[in-house]
Structure 1
Amino acid sequence: MDYQGSNVTDFLHANGHVMLERVDNNCNLRSFTRKEIDDITSGYSTVLGEGGFGKVYKGRLDGLCPVAVKIYKNGTKKKEFAKEVIVHSQINHKNIVRLFGCCIEENALAIVMEFVHNGNLYNILHCSNAKCSVPFPLDKRLDIAIESAEVLSCMHSMYSPVLHGDIKPANILLDVNLRPKISDFGIARLLAADATHHTRYVVGCIGYMDPLFCRSGILTPKSDVYSFGVVLLEIITRKKAVDGDIILAQSFDEALRNEKHVRQMFDQEIANDKKNVKFLEDVTKLAAECLKMEDKMRPEMAEVANKLRTIKEAYHQSKVGNSTGNKEFL
């Protein structure tokens, strides 16, 4: 190992270079050795997922607590690894996957984090396997959207704002109660006072990336807003952001010109109940605001969360009203 620093904090200071003068690093992070990571994952026996960064394995911390261990590919730049750990460690929120610690040994970079039991939103929305297909009512979808919007709002409003940069259903994990936990801070950035981040590299996932970011390389909180707008569309249509040559945001933009066409995009599981259509249309209008090409016209995430809460409250009141009416009739 070529790094001889005494602990994780020294490593982050040496390699992070992301506004450390304004960041109080989380000194509670545990430092793991390569051998400990091997033990935690039982020899890397259970793969949970794989991406461009490497693989995620299931494990047990201290022999008891289930965890997910993200193992980075050899050659991963320490600077980028340190940035991810620093950003992730700054956010203390119930809807963020908890970070326990990391391994900083050469060619053994890894982070150990909370294991979230119900997979991710992408699998719930798009799994075609009958075994993993579960009822997904509108109220639960709204709850997931609300809590996801709230945590993004919290991130954007921090003293050193955090921009996620890769919001998509695959990065919205779900616990046993289907409560969302935002994960994957590999692209996330701590923003400077002007709340923008310029990069020469366009990073993110096709179908979710802000078109303005693709053109300018400038990442702002409104980039997250755009991505979240696509997530809202997936939640109400159960269509993938990219399906072959079909781009959901583009199809939605075309359908907006004809209200009936938009309605045809709704997921029939929730749209078959005609009483849901008004609320689906309200979510549609909000998604359209998030997806505006001019970023200044897009709402802040705090406004998105507020509007979703208003929609959920109206939905709840309609159900209570219908229930009361039925009782009176009986």
Structure 2
Amino acid sequence: MDCQENNLKSFLQTNGHVVLQRVDNNYSLRYFTEKEVCQITNGYSILVGKGAFGEVYKGILDDGCPVAVKRYMHGTKKEEFAKEVIVHSQINHKNVVRLLGCCTEENALMIIMEFISNGNLDSILHCSNTDGHVPFPFYKRLDIAIEVAEALWCMHSMYSPVLHGDVKPANILLDEKQSTKISDFGIARLLCANGAQHTKNIIGSIGYVDPAFCENGILTPKSDVYSFGVVLLEIITRKKAVDGTFILAHSFTEAIEKGKTVMNLFDEEINDTENVNFLQDIGKLAVKCLRRDVKVRPEMVEVATSLRMIRKALKEEQESLNQQHTSAPNNSIPSKNIESTAHQFGNLKVFKQKEIKHTTRNYSMMTDRGSRNRHFGKALYDFTADGDDKLSLTAGEDMEIEYEVDGWYYVKKKRPGRDGKIEGLVPVLYVRSPVTCYF
């Protein structure tokens, strides 16, 4: 071990918790001088983040590897810095930002980590571009939730369990492949064998802090479970944890407990007939994570397992739908020609999905609801056109789905003969899912 490594180990053992004695070079932590960090960051020229702890800069190592340098504010206690280094260095998981090294010089406390290039989950969920929200497909949201859950499960199951303490979208980074990386271990804790720690200071972020911890001051892995439950709700609703007087966890759990619908809380981008049951399953799982009684909250291993089962069911349903697409009749009409084809069947108005959502006030006046199999049997909407005419668009029992192509349904109307018997089917309209309004 060279002089620099001896200095690092001595610093950590002198200034940190007793568990710092477990630090060795198996993790290959590198010691950086302040001069080296200044060169790496080109004089701290690229600021990528800022917070109460200090600032984060982008840097480039000699081998061309990009890094993030977390530079602590002057006055930061060395013991707190040492705790972060030791806690972070214990974790080796693909979905956790990797710690590469640190600088321990006087008034130059810094840690050097791998650089994650694609922002964080908070910016994707809550920041808009010129066209509105950034597109965020359901399957990708589910993947992210599973990766975070599995990383937390790994941390909680270590010999000395690691409590993150600040699980929130802003601390969930995404790399260039949209893979998840949990970051910011500034208030993380290594727990004792019983998996609990008492603290007088409230740690965490507003909207994500476990109410049980606020009451008794006891930190356990279930504190992270609570925070993750809030993150799950943000993922499926795209609503902030706290927005003025609106508290997402309270509003969602209250609706569930009172038997009210939560359909209006789901993000409309993913709230369609294909996803609705899966969204409800995720919502129910989140509510379990948010239970006031810590003892009845699930462990992260249970949460991760449940999410994987939901993803498996979603994948199986999508594969089943794809099989139906490929087995459609040869006379199936490509969706790009669907609107022009629909007009061959008479004076029919072809409604765009945006028009339907607008005129039904985002489907807020549904009078009945069919099963999730997307047959239009009893899907009814009261629908007000732009004029004064009141239209009730219904899918009566005399309608029949012929086949589906790329989300469009080829609808036929049963044709009764003179004796009242059904003689055949008359093409009526092509309808785009999930819009269930047609003539």
Partner of 2:404: none
Larger Rg: 2
2:173 counterpart letter in structure 1? L
Deviations 1:120-154 (A, max 9, x none): 00011011233895321111000000011001001
Shift of 1:326: 1.8
Q: Secondary structure at the match of 1:148?
A: helix
Shift of 1:61: 1.4
Judge conservation of contact 1:146–1:305 (CA < 8 Å) in 2: yes
Partner of 2:327: 328
2:209 counterpart letter in structure 1? M
CA change 1:27–1:93 in 2 (3 A) is: closer
Determine whether 1:73 maps to 2:62: no
Determine whether 1:251 maps to 2:251: yes
**Partner Cα distance (1:329, 1:258) in 2:** 43
Q: Report the number of matched residues.
A: 326
Deviations 1:248-284 (A, max 9, x none): 111112221455531110000000x211000000000
Q: Secondary structure at the match of 2:105?
A: coil
Q: Secondary structure at the match of 1:230?
A: helix
**Partner Cα distance (1:22, 1:66) in 2:** 29
**Partner Cα distance (2:116, 2:171) in 1:** 11
Partner of 1:313: 312
Using the size of structure 1 for normalisation, the TM-score is: 0.95
Partner of 2:295: 296
**Partner Cα distance (2:180, 2:323) in 1:** 31
Q: Which residues of structure 1 form unaligned runs of 5+?
A: none
Q: Which has the higher mean CA deviation after the structures are superposed, 259-268 or 130-139? A: 130-139
Judge conservation of contact 2:127–2:134 (CA < 8 Å) in 1: no
Partner of 2:37: 37
Partner of 1:60: 60
Partner of 1:200: 200
Compare the two structures and name the one with the higher strand fraction.
Answer: 2
Q: Secondary structure at the match of 1:270?
A: coil
**Partner Cα distance (1:11, 1:19) in 2:** 13
Shift of 1:21: 5.2
CA change 1:56–1:177 in 2 (3 A) is: same
Judge conservation of contact 1:18–1:190 (CA < 8 Å) in 2: no
CA change 1:63–1:23 in 2 (3 A) is: closer
Q: Secondary structure at the match of 2:45?
A: coil
If asked which structure has higher relative contact order (CA below 8 Å, sep 6+), I would say 1
Q: Which residues of structure 2 form unaligned runs of 5+?
A: 330-439
Shift of 1:329: 2.2
1:285 counterpart letter in structure 2? K
Deviations 1:63-87 (A, max 9, x none): 6111111000000000000000000
**Partner Cα distance (1:111, 1:21) in 2:** 19
Determine whether 1:10 maps to 2:10: yes
Judge conservation of contact 2:159–2:193 (CA < 8 Å) in 1: no
**Partner Cα distance (1:294, 1:83) in 2:** 30
Judge conservation of contact 1:208–1:230 (CA < 8 Å) in 2: yes
Q: Secondary structure at the match of 2:274?
A: helix
Q: Secondary structure at the match of 1:70?
A: strand
Of all paired residues, the percent bearing the same amino acid is: 64
**Partner Cα distance (1:10, 1:26) in 2:** 16
Compare the two structures and name the one with the higher helix fraction.
Answer: 1
Determine whether 1:99 maps to 2:96: no
